[in-house]
Amino acid sequence: MYYLPTSSLVLFFLVFFFFFFSSNHLSCASTKEGLGWCEAMFECGNITAGFPFSGGSRPQFCGHPSLELHCFHNKTSIIISNHLYDVLHIDQTSKTLRLAKAELRGSFCTATFTSTTLPPDIFELSQTSQSLTVFYLCDRNNWYNSSYTCLHRGPVSVSKNLDYHKSCQDSFTINVPKSYVPEEKELNLKHLENALHEGFEVHVKIDEQPCEECVSYHGICSFKNTTQICCKNDSSSRCNPLHIPGANELHRLCSQPFTCGNQNGLLYPFWTSERKDCGHPDFELNCSSGFAELSISSVKFRILEVNYESRFIRLARSDYIGDLCPKDPLNVPFDESVLPLVPNTTQLTIYYDCNQDFSGYVSTYVGALACDDVDGKGNYYVTRNLSSPLLQGSRGVFNDFREFCDKNVSIPAYGPALTTLQTSSSRDNLKKALEEGFELGLNQECSRCFALQGACGYNRTSNRFACYYIVEPNVRARKKGVSPGAIAGIVVASASVLLFLIAGGLFCLIRRRRKTQTDQYTSKDLPVTSYSSRETSSYPTSTTISASSNQSLLPSISSLPNGSTYFGVQVFSYEELEQATDNFSRELGDGGFGTVYYGMLKDGRAVAVKRLYERSLKRVEQFKNEIEILKSLKHPNLVILYGCTSRHSRELLLVYEYISNGTLADHLHGDRAAPRPICWPVRLNVAIQTASALSFLHESGIIHRDVKTTNILLDEDYTVKVADFGLSRLFPMDKTHISTAPQGTPGYVDPEYYQCYRLNEKSDVYSFGVVLTELISSKEAVDITRHRHDINLANMAVSKIQNNAVHELVDPSLGFAKDPEVRRKMMAVAELAFRCLQQEREVRPSMDEIVEVLKGIKGEEEPDVVDIEGRGGDDVGLLRSSSVPPPISPETDKWTSSSDTATSSF
């Protein structure tokens, strides 16, 4: 019996910490040239938007995944919870959007009646808007219902409350301005349509503070999934994370005095370019002149002396050092909110170019100043604050100064120096008083910060003073009065508890793994299977997934030598796969999980190698999730997993059988659709095989959660291979649903899943209904170039089928009009799709029922294979197998298609 070595479990913790710490140094998922593109704005018509939105010239990584804007015919739109909204206005300052649901902007009675839930973590309904309930199919006998009736919808009422639920068969919510008052008994449809056309306002709840902080460091605001990140502003095609200093680093930087010009020992509020977090924005210093100078409203002030111990700073106006009559002197009041003037500071006021002779007013506090005036105008100065009681008798004189003098300048000056000037009025004493400058006290917040052993700085995001402290545990403990001995005791005790918990966890894991392996070897119902015709696994594989499926797979694999197998999964070396893929040069496609490459193993098997491009915990979980699911399942319509690399390899890689004929999406509306369209019999076979695979998954307790045409692969015989299980979830058999955050692809996601975050197998049924609709229509699930009511294919299909307009939905090239048998079968498939796309899960069929219905539609006379190249696309014949090797260029044969959502096929 094989037992898991304890060393393998220890590796689990090593793997965990390796991925956790390395994920902070990964590149952004961006292939654009230059992150400077994030500085561009989205522009469409009269809409302009930047962070946190993306779209247009702003790549997706520049904005939140849920805030991608689209521009079509100069009109902006956004997809929210699988529904299209017209964006009528964006106010970036208040982070407010005015939206209107596209399908409700036309005739109300012919619109699709569906509710949409705004994701609460992204949007919040504004106070100017309200949610109302529309009731329809109401009982005509109730007097309180509206007299307005929509065709096929019966009486319709709009209400603020839910009183009509008992008398109406159905309802949905709408968002409208608060100015709209619903007429519950006498509905005025015109008023309602105007309110829906006007739209409603929502607030975007994205926290912009991290972005503002990023910008303050000249970085680029970006997103990795829904997490804000900050990248360097360079021309690289990768996100080079910008280093933003932490509290400890800022404390070390800002607590160190610096030198500027002839001044040493400078600290807050002064700063230079490399110390911008350490000073107030208004006190940046220029050291190029040999002096330490700062500019306030274009006026330069020179630092004469700084003494933090004596708690004073002395400045002087640079333009008055050595010159009493500078050219065009400016009057700049000094802002004391950062550095207060000391009590003995007085405002010296100088009046220039006076048109009247005031020499008769010269006194103790008023003096004349001779400048080189060619026009004979006089200049005077006042040595006291103009509000001083000492000048009480001269108020009229100062009014005359202001009226008859062209210019006046108030300059702070040192009180004792002005007293000397008053005692001995002379040009030299005036010059000395201005050159000695004025004194300032220290910032009070900074003084308190110093007292607490902090370092003074400034947070440019919040525009507030900041005190940086050392946040090391031992420092905090000492501040609280804890002795070093007590700190040592706490550390020892904490370490002991941690070791005890780890030991207990290891013991439980060993017991659980041994029990699981014993059960697997002793169970008579677990068949031994192999996923390769050339190799046979030495270990049994269950066709169902046990409770141990959630245990980590990577550590156990990492302890095995290359080339061995573990529960049916072969372990490959990185070098082996590097050689097989010709150094990863033959790319097949990109997806949300990673890049896929074509390769040829030494044993001759053609393979597709999925390369995990991100070593984050989330991606590792998806990596393990896909192995856990595919290693235990065997079905002719599920893609085969050959193996994976070990944890010791340079990268995490998954190895699959190579499916050479592309995706179903390629054949329906992609590159392969025009030259080689698949005919109706083949499409019906594809539907049956896909449904069979999903039915098998549901029987095995698995929800795929990302059913779409890009995850349905086709081989050369057009046999289906369902792929991409990175988002799949194990479904407990004793539960009716599981709760999980909505993930998937717009156009395919179950609307009830979006509304209540409850997932069950009927979510796959809804997505399969969209696939059926694509099969009969050849249309994409979401296409913003279609009419706003038809952008979402599911809504379009429901509306067309309800109104007996299936002929407007189907692809006419499939023979719907000319072949009655094809028409009958396509109508039956459309009816089945309609059942799958119901809003309420309870009325949707199960996958087992879907398989039976599709087989019944096909009938026994339907051939298994057809010649898709036959005339008209409907001739019966034998599919030719192709021996053409896969193309080198991913542009001509994409094994999968990329996706802009949370996941895509491989």
In sequence order, the β-bridge partners of residue 302 are: 293, 316
Within a 10 A sphere around the Cβ of 887, how many other Cβ atoms? 14
Q: Is 706 a catalytic residue?
A: yes
Are residues 652 and 645 in contact, defined by beta-carbon separation less than 8 angstroms?
yes
Strands 405-414 and 378-382, by their bridges, are unpaired
**Total Cβ atoms within 10 A of residue 681:** 23
**Token digits of residue 304:** 């004469």
Residue 57 CA to residue 835 CA, distance in Å, equals 40
Tokens of 630: 């595919």
Q: Which amino acid is at 640?
A: I
Using DSSP's 3-state secondary structure scheme, residue 506 falls into helix
Question: Using CA atoms, how far apart are residues 305 and 721, in angstroms rounded to an integer?
Answer: 79
Q: Are 335 and 346 in contact (CB under 8 A)?
A: no
Question: With the CA atoms of 589, 594, 597 and 600 taken in that order, what torsion angle do they form, in degrees rounded to the nearest 10?
Answer: -140
Size of the chain, expressed as the number of residues it contains: 906
For residues 766 and 736, the answer to whether their CB atoms sit within 8 Å is no
Q: Distance between CA atoms of 43 and 38, rounded to whole angstroms?
A: 13
Cα separation, 795 vs 175, whole angstroms: 19
Nearest Cα residue to 70 out of 782, 749, 744, 784: 784
Residue of 277, 319, 666, 706 marked active site: 706
Q: Within a 10 A sphere around the Cβ of 366, how many other Cβ atoms? A: 23
Q: Residues with Cβ < 8 Å from 323, sequence gap 6 or more?
A: none
Helix H or strand E encompassing 847: helix 847-858
Q: Which residues contact 802 (CB under 8 A, 6 or more apart)?
A: 152, 834
Among 439, 381, 431, 443, residue whose Cα is nearest residue 413 = 439
With both helix axes pointing from N to C terminus, report the angle between 793-802 and 761-777 in degrees, rounded to the nearest 10.
70
C-alpha separations of 142 from 94, 166, 187, 232, 855 in Å: 45, 11, 15, 65, 46
Whether omega for the bond prior to residue 890 falls within 30 degrees of 0, making it cis, is no
**Phi/psi of residue 149, nearest 5 degrees:** -130, 130
Read off φ and ψ for residue 857, nearest 5 degrees: -65, -40
How far are the Cα atoms of 114, 248, 692, 740, 799 from residue 838, in angstroms, in the given order? 10, 57, 21, 21, 12
CA–CA dist 729, 705 (Å, integer): 7
The string of DSSP letters for 317-379 reads EGGGSS-SS-SS----PPPTTTSPBPTTEEEEEEEEEESS--GGG--SSEEE-----SS--EE
Q: How many CB atoms lie within 10 A of CB 507?
A: 12
610 annotated to bind ligand: yes
Structure tokens at 656: 């699959």
> Is 681:862 a contact under the CB 8 Å cutoff?
yes
The catalytic residues are 706
Binding site for ATP: what residues are annotated?
Answer: 610
Residue numbers in the known binding site are: 610
